[in-house]
Structure 1
């Protein structure tokens, strides 16, 4: 990760990320608790928001661990796969806690792609993702109604763009495999296909 961190520092990625996250967004100045009490302290506001969304999203369902027999046959990540995934990244997307933007990945792809390829292969082989990938920055977007009611805000999780790059590679593999097993008659909802082609054939 040292090479990636050097690129972040060289391009000013952390400073840019911080500016994107805080420069144009105002902190919630005050919020009402469940009891109707006003809270102006930032830490109290964070605690109220955390408690509110924890109640909404927590669940007690315990899922059995899937039987992942055969995962050792997963092919290693290729350099070309990483390059393709980086090229498909959209710009002007807020970064996660690591501060690495898609622009950084694109600008330095020739330098960091070998490092990312090795890291992704290690993840596939060990079936373990970095702990930092489980961390997110959460921002609250105002929807409508009373601005001082926490329920009128929508939480957005900002995850590591490297994590999303890895999942993009997995998604590309899945889509390719599924597409290869589609019947030739299936033209709808497929890349580079159109139902109009079949209509012209019928005519």
Structure 2
């Protein structure tokens, strides 16, 4: 595949084997604590109380999921909660919505994300900042300003796409 003169491959070197105990332990530590638990009422603190034991238990579960290629239904679902903001509560815009997800499911998904992010990041062009860690809108605004200034200097047109 070609994009702006760059060749990209769809064959990324991502580990597709079952999760290891080390990956599970790391993912458990990455889950934020002091957050509401998901539909199965398992808080992050329960998994983080003894990471070694939890990782061994989840390793058995994750291997079964991996072998059967069947993710538990409650890991695919979330509990949508509306949190009121200030203002007229009869208007939808005055609510913030959050989705509570299964914490064991978050651990599983964190492992998959950890495996993919470095490989995918290596394929993205450096100017690509959206949805990437440690990239900021401020950097993009500086780049945009330079492009606008160069366009004005050369009296040329340009297009801008804003994606939110």
Report if TM-score (shorter chain) is over 0.5.
yes
Taking a change above 3 Å as real, the CA distance of residues 111 and 181 of structure 1, as seen in their structure-2 partners, is same
User: Which ranges in structure 2 are unaligned for 5 or more consecutive residues?
Assistant: 1-14, 135-164
Residue of structure 2 in register with 1:20 after alignment: none
Higher percent of residues as helix: 1
Residue of structure 2 in register with 1:67 after alignment: none
CA RMSD, aligned part only?
2.8
Taking a change above 3 Å as real, the CA distance of residues 76 and 139 of structure 1, as seen in their structure-2 partners, is same
Q: Which runs of 4+ in 1 moved over 6 A?
A: 187-192
Which one of 11, 19, 30 corresponds to residue 77 of structure 1?
19
TM-score, normalised via structure 1 length: 0.49
Taking a change above 3 Å as real, the CA distance of residues 182 and 145 of structure 1, as seen in their structure-2 partners, is closer
TM-score, normalised via structure 2 length: 0.59
Residue deviations 1:57-105 (CA, integer Å, cap 9, x gap) = xxxxxxxxxxxxxxxx821110100011112222211111222111111
User: Which ranges in structure 1 are unaligned for 5 or more consecutive residues?
Assistant: 1-72, 193-203
1:182-197 correspondence to structure 2 within 5 Å: none
Contact kept, 8 Å, 1:74 with 1:124, in 2: the verdict is: no
Residue of structure 2 in register with 1:118 after alignment: 60
Secondary structure, counterpart of 1:86 in structure 2: helix
Residue of structure 1 in register with 2:31 after alignment: 89
Displacement, 1:187? Answer: 10
